[in-house]
Amino acid sequence: MRSRPTSRSRGLLLLVLFGIAGLAWNSRVSSIVEVVPAAIPQAAELQEAKQDPARLRQGQSVGYTALTDEMKQIVDGLTDVVVLRTWATPSWLHAVSATAKDDASKELRTQKLRECPLTLLAQWVFDEGCVGDFTFAIDIGMNLGWFSALAAASGLHVLAVEPRQAPLRYMEKTIALNGWQGRIDLLHGGLAEASGQLYVDESRWWERRSASREAGDGRSATKALRLDDAVPPDSKVCLLKADCRGCEAEAFRSGKELLAAGSIQVVQMEYDHSPAAQSALETLQQLSPRPWQCILLPAGLRCAGADLLDAEGEALREIWDFIFAGVHVDCRAAKLVETAPEQVMRGYHTDLWLVHDDTMDRLRAEPRFVAASQRAAEAANQQCEYSSSQTAEQGVCDLLCHEFTTLEEAQRACDARPSCTKVLQRGDSFELRGGSAPGSAQVPAYLKLACKLAQ
């Protein structure tokens, strides 16, 4: 006969059941509120943030079910939504899909940050790079709206152009959450030389796809807009971001009058070294009355959200090293071809910034840029020791994936660049690599161990 459980065993059983219930509750809460591990708030603070998302601290987010009734009214019509407070400075509340699987949405949900080098340099442009009445920003290919929100949070008036309806719905909620009505103008359409009808694939809208004149199954209609018609007369544009997957040349041609007036201070575009990208750059230069200098930043530079709060931290020093090393006075498309690998792989691109001489002069006087130039000058007199190792930390391409024929040649180049952390062997050649964006495969690499002054 089985004996009845004692009081002690019943007590142990209750403790186990309470523990399981606690784990289940924690799992439920974690699915609603995401918090960056480095800044876990106290329970009272977290409950307060759930009751009023406006009180979210940087790095916190809250899901739809935890929103107050007032906040649910603001995001009316969207239940697949997370409201987060960004790590950027100034910070803001941003609405994003809770279930989208693309890398951009996942990065924004988990990191509360997008495209760290773009954010870092754009913040400098908004704070220091533009002077006078250059208080307007244009976002061609808005996508998740990170750049538009960054510009608005910095006090600029923004024109955001996006051909897909779904991202516009989320951005409308971001505008409402921050009280930016009248500061960001959303345009549903794509830029083209002539007005008319465009079509765009809405089926996978978190992936950026360029609108075109071609209709077809699964493609919805949108308007073809001209930049000269969309931008208010006499606008002084601090920064124009152009990222519309191949439409950049036509977008620039649609703004001939704006460009000819010299009304744009800085241009940022994703440059994949394709014929379309070269055509866009040449079009921009032909339509501009003043020459452009440029900065090329490699794809894959990363930093954590809290790094943005530490201006002197190692992560941002690395990015400033890349900014200094990426300056090109001669920014013609024919010269930039020399910076790309001989065989440009699909998805390879660089973050291209174009600035006029006066803005470049202000950048060269920026203390963090000056410090990076001093580090480069010191590195020119260094000699480093290397050790071969199997590593998954491939890093980003320093010198934009330039290939060296010998290890010794690659090591000499790496010695002179603070942004270079290792030499990577790729087949019969060698490449310089920076420290961020780890790779996924074990590869042989020559790691830089320590540097000292050359004898």
Q: Which domain holds residue 419?
A: 380-453
pLDDT of residue 64: 94
Encode pLDDT of 196-205 as tens digits.
Answer: 888 777 665 4
Q: Is residue 6 part of a domain?
A: no
Q: Is residue 236 part of a domain?
A: yes
Average pLDDT over residues 378-402: 89
Residue ending a domain, choose from 77, 107, 137: 107
CATH code, 348: 3.40.50.150
Average pLDDT over residues 336-364: 84
Same domain, 152 and 75: no
Q: Is residue 3 part of a domain?
A: no
Q: Is residue 16 part of a domain?
A: no
Confidence of residue 411 (pLDDT cuts 50, 70, 90): very high
Residue ending a domain, choose from 107, 127, 162: 107
Q: Is residue 223 part of a domain?
A: yes
Cβ-based neighbour number of residue 227 at 10 Å = 25
What is the C-alpha separation between 204 and 202, in angstroms, rounded? 6
Q: Is residue 12 part of a domain?
A: no
Same domain, 78 and 147: no
Same domain, 226 and 352: yes
Same domain, 181 and 307: yes
Read off the DSSP letter of residue 404. Answer: B
Same domain, 182 and 292: yes
pLDDT of residue 345: 65
Same domain, 314 and 430: no
What is the C-alpha separation between 325 and 320, in angstroms, rounded? 8
What is the C-alpha separation between 346 and 83, in angstroms, rounded? 33
Q: Is residue 284 part of a domain?
A: yes
Same domain, 144 and 181: yes
Same domain, 183 and 253: yes
What is the C-alpha separation between 246 and 210, in angstroms, rounded? 7
Average pLDDT over residues 352-374: 96
Q: How many structural domains is the chain composed of?
A: 3
Helix, strand, coil in percent for the chain, rounding step 5: 40, 25, 35
Same domain, 315 and 434: no
Residue ending a domain, choose from 311, 345, 372: 372
Q: Is residue 172 part of a domain?
A: yes
Average pLDDT over residues 147-165: 95
Encode pLDDT of 93-127 as tens digits.
Answer: 999 999 998 888 999 999 999 988 889 999 999 99
What is the C-alpha separation between 294 and 280, in angstroms, rounded? 14
Same domain, 156 and 88: no
Structure tokens at 105: 């949405």
Encode pLDDT of 245-294 as tens digits.
Answer: 788 999 999 999 999 999 999 999 989 888 889 999 999 999 999 999 99
Same domain, 77 and 128: no
Q: To the nearest whole percent, how much of the chain has pLDDT over 90?
A: 55
Same domain, 218 and 159: yes
Structure tokens at 186: 């959303």
